[in-house]
Amino acid sequence: MKTIAAQRTALETGFQPAFFDFLTQTIHISCFADGTPAPFHILEGLPREVIVDRARSGRVVSTKATLLTGYERNGYFYTTAAAARAIAEWCGEETA
């Protein structure tokens, strides 16, 4: 989602920011470091197995190359484009 309004609409329609590891076929919901679900994509809450490198401060510097960003809804992963199309359809908007 390109704007804050689009992100808010995604959350309101049940989409959670998430990451998908296409190697393991695992969805990881975007979370803060303490495990609380995040309303945006953030790397700090990802599990160790997908983190490649951290800075001395503990911040995530890089992740596995097999990780995609997108959204989860009802156990299914949607790319950002697919989520935007679904929201537009469900809300009766034109798709670009």
CA 59 to chain centre: 18
Q: Which residue has the tokens 């296409």?
A: 22
Average pLDDT over all residues of the chain? 88
Q: Which CA distances in Å does 53 have to 17, 59, 63, 88?
A: 22, 9, 7, 37
Q: Where along the chain do its domains lie?
A: 4-83
pLDDT classification of 2: cutoffs 50, 70, 90: low
- Residue-wise pLDDT for 34-59, tens only, equals 999 999 999 999 999 999 999 999 89
